[in-house]
Amino acid sequence: MILVTGGAGFIGANFVIDWLAATGDPVVNLDKLTYAGNLENLATMKGDPRHIFVRGDIGDSALVDRLLAEHQPRAIINFAAESHVDRSIHGPGDFIQTNVVGTYHLLESVRGYWSALPEAEKAAFRFLHVSTDEVYGSLAADDPPFAETKAFEPNSPYSASKAASDHLVRAWHHTYGLPVLTTNCSNNYGPYQFPEKLIPLVIANALAGKPLPIYGDGMNVRDWLYVSDHCAAIRRVLEAGRPGETYNIGGWNEMPNLDIVHTICALLDELRPDAAGPHARLITYVKDRPGHDRRYAIDARRIERELGWRPAETFETGIRKTVAWYLDNQAWVGHVTSGAYRDWVGRNYGDRA
């Protein structure tokens, strides 16, 4: 048994689905079901006795203590987090509460549980904390990619809150001996991603004939990681990673945002042509967001060298699978892009035109 937090969100849900397919080991899935947590992401596991869903907050110590005592998990995988930079700019308090205070309460509950385990189970136990490359700050065009030794230089309320949570995890290992593992990943994409992020937003807007908003000049660079590759990497780190260590997980796919949007438009032109013309006609440049980091890039050589993991998907294969999934799952998109989502899009992009 493992306990997954945040397992109804984008990456967490993909991980739970992949975990059950790859291992068959049962999962307790704890998720608060905020706007980005969606039980429809877990629909394929409905009725599966290996999947136990619990609605709740990682900051609810009484609930977490009860789940740990009842299910006796051998590992915790912590995906629970507020994760969108734009939302953190509009409302940083939620990010501090979940990513910092919530992680602290979770660590304390897990420390109490782990401390009482028999020695053999205690030695085998792991707490895996899932984080982001954004904690490292921004790179210039000719800077080397982020290695695990790169100093933290977070530039947004989101990345600062994740950096704080990473520091807490490290401290609980150094001070208390809790056997932790930390992963810092690059930009994920794939099925079930909430359409506030670039790739699903562009797909949804293009299909609806709406503007495709590009911040600034569109040349901000990110490394792109297909979500199932990320899930496989986390399983490998959980299996063989050294306690106390950090592993960067990247896709070896550095691309400017504008190139991403043109790639999606070309795929939609091929797979779902629009009688009004090429989808790229909808590209619209808007005012940049405050403090927009110019470039992220992950050096993922350590996880390859020490644990033998490399991504299976290229960006070309992964983005084609992603676009096809959204085309085939328009009902899911319709359900998540509700009134609250439309209100958010209007708030975030309305004053950028």
In the annotation, is 121 catalytic?
no
CATH 3.30.1050.10 fits 2-192+224-252+295-312, yes or no: no
Report the C-alpha gap between 242 and 245 in whole angstroms: 6
pLDDT (average), residues 21-28: 97
Indicate the range of 53-62, 229-238, 327-336 predicted with least confidence. 327-336
Question: Is it the case that residue 346 has pLDDT exceeding 70?
Answer: no
Once rounded to an integer, what is the mean pLDDT over residues 231-237? Answer: 98
User: In the prediction, which pLDDT does 345 show?
Assistant: 43
Mean pLDDT of the chain: 93
Catalytic residue flag (residue 70) = no
Choose the catalytic residue: 57, 82, 134, 166.
134
**pLDDT, tens digit (0-9, with 9 covering 90-100), for 130-169:** 999 999 999 999 999 999 999 999 999 899 999 999 999 9
- Annotation marks residue 158 as catalytic: yes
Tell me which of 113, 136, 158, 247 is the catalytic residue.
Answer: 158
Nearest to 206 by CA among 267, 141, 126: 267
Of 57, 82, 86, 133, which one is the catalytic site residue?
A: 133
Burial of 320 (0-12, 13-18, 19+ CB in 10 A): middle
Q: What distances in angstroms separate CA 220 from CA 146, 156, 217, one per listed residue? A: 16, 15, 8
Q: What pLDDT does residue 351 have?
A: 54
Q: List, as one string, the DSSP characters of 174-230.
A: HHH---EEEEEE-EEESTT--TTSHHHHHHHHHHHT--EEEETTS--EEEEEEHHHH
pLDDT, position 73? 98
Count CA within 13 A, CB hemisphere, residue 329. Answer: 22
